Every structure is written in C-alpha cells, then in structure tokens.
Structure 1
Amino acid sequence: GELSWRQAFEVIVIWEFASCVLPSAAGGTAAAPIILTKEGIPLGKSLAYTIVTAFLDNLYYVLMVPLVVWLAGAALYPRHLESTFVETLRVLFVVSYVAVSTYSGLLFYALFINPVAVRRLLVRFTSFPALQRFRPRAYRLGQDLANASAQVRHAGPLYWWRASLSTFFVWTARYAVIGCLIAAFVPMTTGKFLFIFARNITYKVVLLLAVTPGGAGIAEGAFPTFFGNFIGTATMTSFMVLLYRIVTYYFYLILGTVFLPRWAARVFGVGK
C-alpha cells in the first residue's frame, strides 16, 4: 500500500496530466482513484485518499477566501470590466464559495462524524422524481464516503499535520505563481504581490466555468483582464500569458505525453 518515490512522482505527473486534458471543473480528481488503484493501492484506500485530498483542497479555499476578500476588498474584481459582468462574477464567486463550503462541511461530517447519515441524506435527496436517475450514483458516493471514513478515522495527528501542511504549500504555490512570474520582469512590492495572489483566486473561479480541457482558451483570454494592468504593455502581457501557460499547463502536457505511455505499459502490461 506504500508508493516509492518514483511511483509517487509518476502518479503526480499523470494526475496533473489528467487535469490538463479534462474540463477544469472535473480536474484530475475523477482519474485519481484509477491511477492509485493501478499502483497497487486497494480501491477503498484509493478512494479514501482522493476524498481526503478533495476535502483538504476545498478547506484551503474556504479558509483563504475571507482573507483575500479582506486584502483586496472591492478591487478583487477588475475595475475596467463591464459593471454587469462584474456583478455576475461577484455572484458566481459567492455561489462558488457557498457551494464549496457546503461540500466541505458535508465531507467533514461524513469523514469524522456520521458517514451513514450522509449516505441516507444523499439517497433521500435523490428520491425526488427529477433526481431519481442519480440515486444509484448518490448511493455509491455515500458508500465511498463511509469507506473513506473507516480508512482515515484512526489516522494520527501526524498524518493530518503532514497532509494539511502539504496542501497549504501546494495551493499557496499555485496561487502565487502568477505574482512570481510578473515579479521576475516587473518591479513588485509586497502589497502588490498579495493583491495579485488575491485576484488569482477570483481568476480561478472563471476557469472553473470553462468546459475546455484545462481551461484552454478561457485562461488565455481572461488573463490580461485580471492581470494586464500589473504588467504594462500588451506585448509584455501576451508574453506573460504564454509563460504562465507553459509553467502551469503545457509543462504538464509534455510530461504526461512522456510518462503516460511508460506508466500504462507498467501498470496495464501494454506491450508485454
């Protein structure tokens, strides 16, 4: 049930590659249990790891949003956008925060308090005629939560400390990358860096609405609107968009195309 450093690296690469080729809303989470199971981790434990990861990822967002709203205030949204679009973006931001907070609360209750009650709630919620076709899926989700709870309920404080610390580091780095790239070419103050960090969280809400793989097209189109005034010229902004997508998107696409065939050959026995 343990992964070597090489296996862990390949799992991360394939996971990130899945995030690049799937719509932003789905991300790599949908593929994660399959990837982990093929590495020899039992399905129950694979689902547990995936659900815990989703819980900690969402919890980071829930805790960080009040901080960035306090940091940026009304300037969290680009001022030169149409007022109607800003209002729409503000509504989407609030709705996404409420949805993620509710989902995080549901996961917390299922993992640590009463998974059976959550399973019952999901089944009853999908008992309405319009939702009945989702009932088998809701039951499976409830069962997965119950299995995950059994797997992680007895994990010690050290496990949660490491998992929480790594989640904080990874997501802070993800949201800080735009500020770091801009600071490499443009003079940057601490206040401006924190402001870019805050606005990046709003930018990611826009990317979540994208139906294209990895937010392709939407990410490039929205970037100048959110960050162009921190960079300067249109040429420099275009260069920054390209650099940002190379670091956060194309890099993982290239890694995925290199490692996926090798990984598939190893775990599926392709070519043997």
Structure 2
Amino acid sequence: MTDNSAKILKSINPVRIILPVAIGIAVTAYLMYREYEPGSLNLLTFSIQTAFWLFVSILLMATRDFGYMLRLRILSEKSLSWKKVFNIIMLWEFTSAITPSAVGGTSVAVFFINKEGIRLGKSTAIVLLTSFLDELYFILSFPALIIIAGGLTLFSISPEATALTWYKNPFILFALLGYSIKLIYILALSYGLFVNPRGLKLLLLWIFKLSFIRKWRPQANESGSELIQASNEFKHWPIKKWIRAFMATAVSWTARYWLVNTIIIAFFGLRILDPEGHFLVFGKQLVIWIMMLVSPTPGGSGFAEYAFHGFLGYLIPAGTGIAMAFIWRLISYYSYLIIGVFILPKWIKKHITKQ
C-alpha cells in the first residue's frame, strides 16, 4: 500500500464518526434545553400519515442517491456497474460526513473511483466534473430562488425579520460568503476545464509562491496536472451527454431539498404550509447548504442543526424546531454514517487488504 493510500485510509477511519455525532447531539441537546416549551413535543404525534410521509422522505434521499449514481454511470461511460457506483456514492457521502464542509477535497473520491477500476486520470476527471456540475446547480438556482421568493423573505428568521437591513442578518452574510466561494471556484474550474488548463495551473503555481501558502505548492501542482487531465477527457463531449449529466445532478439536489417539506407534512399535515410556504422551505434548505460550506465542523454537524432551528423554526409550531432538525439530520446525515461504517470495512478488505 502506498503512503498516499495509507493517508487516505487514515482520513476515513470509521472511528472519526464519534466527533460529528457528539457535536450534533450536544448542539441538539443544548438547543432543546434552551428552547423547550412544555407540551410542545406532544404535537409530534405518530400516525399512518406520519409513517407514509417519512417513507416519502426516505424515498427522496434514495432518489438523490440514484441521481448521483446515474451521473457516475454517465461520466464513466457505463464502465462502472450499479453496485460499484453505489459503493462509491455511499463511501463518498460517508467521507463528506466526517470531514469539515469547508475542507472537502477530491483525493478521497478519486481514490474510491480509481480502486473500482477506473484509471487515475479518468477518475480525477470524473470527480472534477461532478464538482463542476454540483456548483453549476447552486450557482443557477440560488439567484433564481432569491428572485422568486424574495431575498429578505428567503433569509428571514421570523415574519418581522424581513424588515431588517440585509447586512444585519447573519444568515445573509453566511450565504453570500458561501456563494462567493462557490462562484469563484466554478469560474476558475470552468476556465481550467474548457479554456486554458495549463494557464490556470501556471497561475496556481504563481499564487502558491506566497510565503504563507508555499508549503501547499506541491498539492497545487498536482491539482493543476489533474485539471489538465480532466480537460483532455471531457472538452470534446457532445452536448447531449452534458445535458444528461446535469439533469441527473438537478434531480439529485432537488430531491434532497424537498426533504424538509415532507418531514413537516409528516407531523403537521398538508395545510400547515401553503404552496408559497413549501417553495420557501425548499429555498431555505438550499441556503442552509450554502452556509454549511463555511462550517468548520465535520459534515456541518452542530451548525446545520442550529441553522435549521433558527432559519426554519418559525414556519412550524413553536418548540418543535429542534426536534424536526434532528429528524432531518437523522435521515439526511446520520444515515450515511451508519451505512458507511458497514460498507467501508468490506470495501477495504476487497480493494486494499487483498491487494
């Protein structure tokens, strides 16, 4: 096993789930203690309707994963089987769940795809292109939601908060920071993938001559080389294949953003939100995911619960916000930790230990 492989395996050690779980539970418990109102949890009754809509919530997450799997099949030109893309997506989500949202990194995803039989250059190209498609969805949908829902309404934490000046709303500032990072990233990646990959590599190497980031210059050189490989792989793709890959991306993220809507319906019924309210909840989820980009905790743990409680809590009965946030994270986050713990040891035994 190479030093790089050993380093990657250390970074995805299942033991690392302890930290995000501990942070998430601690923040949930603290918010529950601070915000609890006697009798409020009695509103969360379980019925056939609850079971049905929670099942729909799980189906949405399955649809989200299917969209990711379909996209990997398209990008790999069907050289990856459905079983292989399932393992890759689950391990990819597990890795994202135990590393800070702000850190990210493509090396682990490239590692997973490469070990499933795709040559290294193509694996790198696939991961960079999935990142490009994800960011493109965010970049296009975020301003559209602001125009449709209204910026102040989308970022409000209460009906009265819409009167606040935009720079006094911390959620707007977090979202703008996250969106700016994504916009800069996708502009640089687009330039490197489709216009001048060698030029972008030279620019990266020039930037990383600065003393305070010079120690990361080797990684910048490696990333630039990967970008050149990715450009050679995909710049001659037909438009039809690009559309299919982007549609799979859109289906995946849209399914994820409808999740909270179905959880609210599960416990409070269809009438709690009007059509505009459901669209507002959908938009707020996208904003939460953008804000999580700047979270220093693994998988946004703790920050996500806090943002949900403060950002969506006023749309549902008082005192139930943190409980709903926990259910949301249980389905959309903790489930990947559990699945990853079961899949990872078998995957390592098959692809690393035997080799």
Unaligned runs of 5+ in 2: 1-75
Tell me what 2:349 maps to: 265
2:200·2:224 contact (CA, 8 Å) conserved in 1?
Answer: yes
Structure number with greater CO (CA < 8 Å, separation at least 6) is 2
Match of 1:172 among 254, 258, 282: 254
1:73-124 superposed Cα distances (whole Å, 9 cap, x missing partner):
2122234579798444323322322221121111111111111111111112
Residue 157 of structure 1 and its aligned partner are, at CA, apart by: 2.3
Tell me what 2:121 maps to: 44
**TM-score, length of structure 1 as denominator length:** 0.91
Matched position secondary structure for 1:205: helix
Residue 135 of structure 1 and its aligned partner are, at CA, apart by: 2.3
* C-alpha distance in structure 1 between counterparts of 2:91 and 2:137, whole Å: 23
2:94·2:337 contact (CA, 8 Å) conserved in 1?
Answer: yes
Tell me what 1:72 maps to: 150
Tell me what 2:99 maps to: 22
Match of 1:90 among 149, 162, 172: 172
1:17·1:28 contact (CA, 8 Å) conserved in 2?
Answer: no
Cα distance change of structure 1 residues 259 and 173 upon mapping to structure 2, 3 Å threshold? same
1:19·1:26 contact (CA, 8 Å) conserved in 2?
Answer: no
Tell me what 1:138 maps to: 220
Residue identity opposite 2:308 in structure 1: F
Residue identity opposite 2:86 in structure 1: F
1:72·1:198 contact (CA, 8 Å) conserved in 2?
Answer: no
Match of 2:208 among 98, 123, 126: 126
Matches within 5 A, 1:198-213: 198-213=283-298
Cα distance change of structure 1 residues 183 and 124 upon mapping to structure 2, 3 Å threshold? same
Residue identity opposite 2:288 in structure 1: Y
Residue identity opposite 2:103 in structure 1: A
Residue identity opposite 2:306 in structure 1: G
* C-alpha distance in structure 2 between counterparts of 1:169 and 1:30, whole Å: 25
1:145-185 superposed Cα distances (whole Å, 9 cap, x missing partner):
11110111222223212210111111111222112211233
Cα distance change of structure 1 residues 193 and 210 upon mapping to structure 2, 3 Å threshold? same
* C-alpha distance in structure 1 between counterparts of 2:223 and 2:133, whole Å: 18
Residue 27 of structure 1 and its aligned partner are, at CA, apart by: 4.1
2:166·2:172 contact (CA, 8 Å) conserved in 1?
Answer: no
Cα distance change of structure 1 residues 86 and 267 upon mapping to structure 2, 3 Å threshold? farther
Matched position secondary structure for 2:150: helix
In the alignment, is residue 238 of structure 1 matched against residue 322 of structure 2?
A: yes
Unaligned runs of 5+ in 1: none
Stretch of structure 1 that moved more, 260-269 or 25-34: 25-34
- Identity across matched positions, percent: 33
Tell me what 1:251 maps to: 335
Residue 6 of structure 1 and its aligned partner are, at CA, apart by: 0.8
* RMSD between aligned residues: 2.2
Match of 1:33 among 100, 110, 123: 110
In the alignment, is residue 4 of structure 1 matched against residue 81 of structure 2?
A: yes
2:110·2:120 contact (CA, 8 Å) conserved in 1?
Answer: yes
**TM-score, length of structure 2 as denominator length:** 0.71
Cα distance change of structure 1 residues 98 and 222 upon mapping to structure 2, 3 Å threshold? closer
Cα distance change of structure 1 residues 53 and 172 upon mapping to structure 2, 3 Å threshold? same
Residue 243 of structure 1 and its aligned partner are, at CA, apart by: 1.4
Cα distance change of structure 1 residues 42 and 265 upon mapping to structure 2, 3 Å threshold? same
Residue 197 of structure 1 and its aligned partner are, at CA, apart by: 1.3
* C-alpha distance in structure 1 between counterparts of 2:341 and 2:252, whole Å: 23
* C-alpha distance in structure 1 between counterparts of 2:182 and 2:300, whole Å: 19
